[in-house]
Structure 1
Amino acid sequence: MDNAQMIITDWGDDLACSVASPQLPGIVAAYDGHPDAIELFKLAVSAGLSPDGNIDVHIQRAVEVEDKQFFIRCRHDHRNDDRGRVASRIEHEVLQDAGLREYADADKYDEALIVATLPTDRLRNIMAGVDSGQPFTIGAIREDAVIYIGLLSSSGKGRRLSDLGLDDSSTVGTLFDRLSEDPAHQHDKVLVSAW
């Protein structure tokens, strides 16, 4: 394997965290603080990543509201400050907005993933960090408000990206533009499947 998505989960204010990867399901690791990039890379190689491969890092915060677990995730790269601001807004809205908590689809464990995105993020990069078949929600800021759309990471019910004239190389901004032009999308959930 040449690329792995490494997901660091913060479980609370005490900075305890865990690491997992959809591409390397054998990874189960816990840390008192965030591991550095070298530590994450060594962990990935020990789980099957090629020593010549690379990793992409995502950080998510676990938030529990009304017995439902939410994970608010953002990619950790050169734009992590921008994504972090979106993630902070999403976390605030999750805590305050019962409608958003209901809108975000939960998986079979009653856990909902919301990914903080930027309009320029490619859908394939977001989906690479999600387990196959897992429902998730993306949030992005448009006109000073966070807007959301529900997605599926594999084939299933719902509309396909190709139905919207898009593919997995399309950006989040293009997806939201296309859905805003679609009369069938009137602030209801639209599940879009990439494959």
Structure 2
Amino acid sequence: MKIKVVIAGGTGFVGQGIIQLLSPEKFEIHSLSRHDYVSRPTDKTIYHVVDLANSSELHNIIADADWVIDAVGILLPNPIKGVTYRNSSYEPAKYLIDQLIKQTNANFLFVSANSGPFFMKPYLNAKRAVEKLMNQSLSGRAYIVYPGIIYDKSRLSSFIPGILLSHLVKVPYFKKLRPISRQSFSLEIQRILNGKHSHLEEKI
């Protein structure tokens, strides 16, 4: 029987990296996002347009899931568009956690962050708030990974800083920024889904 994995934010940069690494022969993959997504013809993922605040919609998808992954989030808020860390990071995670408390035995895997520069403190505060909530609410089912900047050639805005930082990791400050390629990150997620430990589960 396939392992059912539901990825909130599956159409995003991080979510797509995970999806591309998971074998459809072993995993039944579902993506949750707010907007339609045009997938590749070879992509076996089931894409759902979902409002995470709609509990009945969400329940129908995750009720029999083995894993729910939260890859939702923003790096920077946008006050003009009303995008905040609360409504784009904390609240989506809370909707997922609330559903998992009520009606499933699925494991919850949250993509947090190891560290960041001083101006990213509000971003880290939102991540830590989710960590606290899930650890209180999902005892024994809460898994957290702590990457730094995730980079890939498909996104130059992350690739160039990521490559530069990866050459500076021997310096303690830059080591905490923990740059990791999207492929390497996705392989670590795959390890966890297969019941193995990942070094990303430990903060540095």
TM-score, length-scaled by structure 2: 0.29
Structure with bigger RCO (C-alpha 8 Å, 6+ apart): 2
**Under a length normalisation based on structure 1, what TM-score does the superposition of the two structures give?**
0.30
